[in-house]
Structure 1
């Protein structure tokens, strides 16, 4: 029996090539039982004419389906559904309506969804003025070389890296590059046993907190700080003391007595962009040694030091093994990569490695090897240079627009970065401001979620320039200034 060409039709908006869409149509027809073993497919010429595509597109789709054992080619006779084609399990789906009769409020022992996080819409690409932090302008990324590195990582030579279970280990090529090229840029020397890969900085902070912090353990965080860190610590039930930062970051003298763990973004404070000077770093380490506490350094965005060279990492000054260093490729490559690393004493890394193994074993091998190639072949350094130049131009344009419209900068960073920390008039609630701006195509980040509960002023917000084209920045800033002026005292906090 022959399958008619009319059984196939193209779907508008399909996310893929015409060849892939034809492959999917045939494969789904076989898997769902509409096309049965031995049935003949339409000729490539006939199907191409029916769908309005080139004949070679259909031929390539059929060829791929033959290699996947969905089809078989019979000389001049044509293509047929393979006798050994994949099939769906032979049972009938239960289509009766389903109900959820579980009382989840009673069953769930711990609540993880109650912590408030910054609202970042998934469709931010659709907004003309997205001043959203942590996202990237894909036009700046080196797609071609990344693709070549990915293909190389998927090749036969590296197939074991793709398929093997590393258990507790990481890709030695990537660890070697981090150890010999990335860390020396921060003044850090480490052995392979002192480095472990994580699923981004968030995962690194979670692993660190799980290993170090128990219920009742006294912990200090910066105020304001990265909201994801506060969510982690809240889940652990630890005693968290927020310490207000100033223009030079975390003041060591303000730490509470008896503190056991201190979290800091010393080189580029989140979200104010303040940089802790060397003298203050030395004072923090001196107090850590005297009072026997640990310091977790989240060194995000150090690569974006395009105004002047970054200050060496806090970890580079550490001679007592008290600093645990968190690094990430999420900001320098792209956030969806979810790849970071921890650097610390071997005894600590051993415990983190065991915890990671119990949770996810290790980050995917092909991702590790792709990044290793991208770094080792020099593409990473070229990308950082390109990003730095682009961000510098955008920063200059934004700085000029902010000044021209009379907006107030609360923190802009001396070395670079990708955002400005802003302060609106005290009468302006930036949560309400963000809602008004969103209706006008502008996305900003209200600052309230960065502060500890009960300490949050309502008039701070963050503007990033990594995700918005340079030519749209002045108009977007103009809309922000206009909306703030329209807000008036009716938005008093």
Structure 2
């Protein structure tokens, strides 16, 4: 039986080439059971005329489906659905039974809730997205990334693409980090002291799992990265949330019974404070005095466009007590989910084993793509391009903030991609943020960054990595009108 040509159509917004769309359309029809074994497909001439495309495009699609056993050719008769084509399921799912399990009693621990908020997935639809940590498509080197990805998917790199590394990583990526990335932070490390992770968040999780339990105590900056606090809370350890000042975490406030100190000295999250060199040395001295491990999250050092960043805390560590966390997700794009841990070999050995138990290793082809992007110089070129644009946006946003009398609570000494802001006492920035969405303005409320005992509602963060310079001032004008309505009316 011949299949009517009228059953085929192309979706206007479909992705991929016309040839790929035709292949997908026919394969989907076979897999769904709509096109059955032995049925004849329309001739390439008829289907091409029906779809309004070139006949050679249809012929190439049929040829590819023939090679993959979806179709078979019968001499001059045409193309038919092959007997070897994948068979669609011939059963109907049974009626779902009632769920009688009391999951609240069955689960020994819950991980939902906490302070980590969900960022809007549709942030690109907003005209004034002062959103932090998202990639600007206009700044990303799509062409060279694509070439690196194609190279990583090539036959030469087949092993890197397909092998199960178990607990190992791509040697090319590890070598680049050891020889180029870490020396820029003053850090010297051997491959045995480096572990690739699924972003900084995964790195921090591994650290918390290995160093904390209910018998230990952790010191956290306050305010701090909310996901880190959620992760530490899940370890059921004692937690000391220490308020930061204009220089970051004060070492003298760390209690003597602290086991692990989490800090962001180069670019405090979220206040952007940079810890000066004397305090860094004091922090190392304090950790040595109480025999504590320091976890240094150096998440945004690449964004130091106002001057060379201070050496990493890890570079000053003579005892091996600093565990360093780095990430490519901030400097490339957050969806990449690729970071790294640097620490003493005994620690990294156990982190490697834990990672292998949970997820084996980050995908090999992703590691190899990043390795090529780094080693061929594309990464450094992109960082320079981003630095220039962020510097320009920083000038624009600071001028607009001053013009509209908005209050800055924290400004990164060496750069960064956000400002830490403070509204008047009594202002709930969560409510302001919700109100501003209707005006196509996105800001990030600051309350989730604070521990419950120190929670402040009148802080917020303005990211400028994803908003064009010409939209910064109009967006802040709308925000200022919402924060200072009486002043705006008087003007």
Paired residues for 1:10-409 under 5 Å: 10-74=10-74, 76-89=76-89, 91-94=90-93, 96=95, 99-409=98-408
User: SS of the counterpart of 2:11?
Assistant: coil
Between the aligned partners of 1:67 and 1:399, the Cα distance in structure 2 is 60
Between the aligned partners of 1:372 and 1:74, the Cα distance in structure 2 is 48
More deviation, 191-200/35-44: 35-44
CA contact (8 A) 1:297 1:325 kept: yes
Match of 2:428 in 1: 429
Distance change in 2, residues 1:25/1:417 (3 Å): same
Distance change in 2, residues 1:24/1:188 (3 Å): same
CA deviation digits over 1:38-86, x for unaligned, max 9? 3222122211221233334323332332332212345554332222112
For normalisation by structure 1, the TM-score amounts to 0.96
CA contact (8 A) 1:428 1:487 kept: no
CA deviation digits over 1:265-294, x for unaligned, max 9? 010000011000111000111111122111
Between the aligned partners of 1:101 and 1:122, the Cα distance in structure 2 is 34
CA contact (8 A) 1:325 1:342 kept: yes
Match of 1:491 in 2: none
Between the aligned partners of 1:315 and 1:455, the Cα distance in structure 2 is 29
User: SS of the counterpart of 1:21?
Assistant: helix
CA contact (8 A) 2:294 2:322 kept: yes
User: SS of the counterpart of 2:220?
Assistant: strand
Between the aligned partners of 2:389 and 2:201, the Cα distance in structure 1 is 26
CA contact (8 A) 1:310 1:415 kept: yes
CA deviation digits over 1:292-329, x for unaligned, max 9? 11100000110011010111100000010010000000
1:17 Cα deviation (Å)? 4.0
Match of 1:3 in 2: 3
Distance change in 2, residues 1:22/1:98 (3 Å): farther
Match of 2:479 in 1: 480
CA contact (8 A) 2:410 2:420 kept: yes
CA contact (8 A) 1:162 1:365 kept: yes
1:98 Cα deviation (Å)? 5.5
1:37 Cα deviation (Å)? 2.7
Gap regions ≥5 residues in structure 2: none
1:256 Cα deviation (Å)? 1.5
Distance change in 2, residues 1:390/1:56 (3 Å): farther
Match of 1:458 in 2: 457
Paired residues for 1:431-446 under 5 Å: 431-446=430-445
More deviation, 476-485/96-105: 96-105
Between the aligned partners of 1:205 and 1:97, the Cα distance in structure 2 is 39
User: SS of the counterpart of 1:402?
Assistant: helix
Distance change in 2, residues 1:469/1:30 (3 Å): same
Gap regions ≥5 residues in structure 1: 489-493
1:100 Cα deviation (Å)? 3.4
CA deviation digits over 1:126-183, x for unaligned, max 9? 1111111110111110011101101101100100111111011101010000000000
1:10 Cα deviation (Å)? 2.6
User: Is 1:447 aligned to residue 446 of structure 2?
Assistant: yes
CA deviation digits over 1:174-193, x for unaligned, max 9? 00000000000000000000
1:474 Cα deviation (Å)? 1.1
1:97 Cα deviation (Å)? 5.4
Paired residues for 1:410-425 under 5 Å: 410-425=409-424
CA deviation digits over 1:101-127, x for unaligned, max 9? 332222222111021213311111111
CA contact (8 A) 1:433 1:487 kept: no
Between the aligned partners of 1:194 and 1:467, the Cα distance in structure 2 is 34
CA contact (8 A) 2:115 2:227 kept: no
Between the aligned partners of 2:53 and 2:401, the Cα distance in structure 1 is 51
Alignment root-mean-square deviation, CA? 1.6
More deviation, 100-109/246-255: 100-109
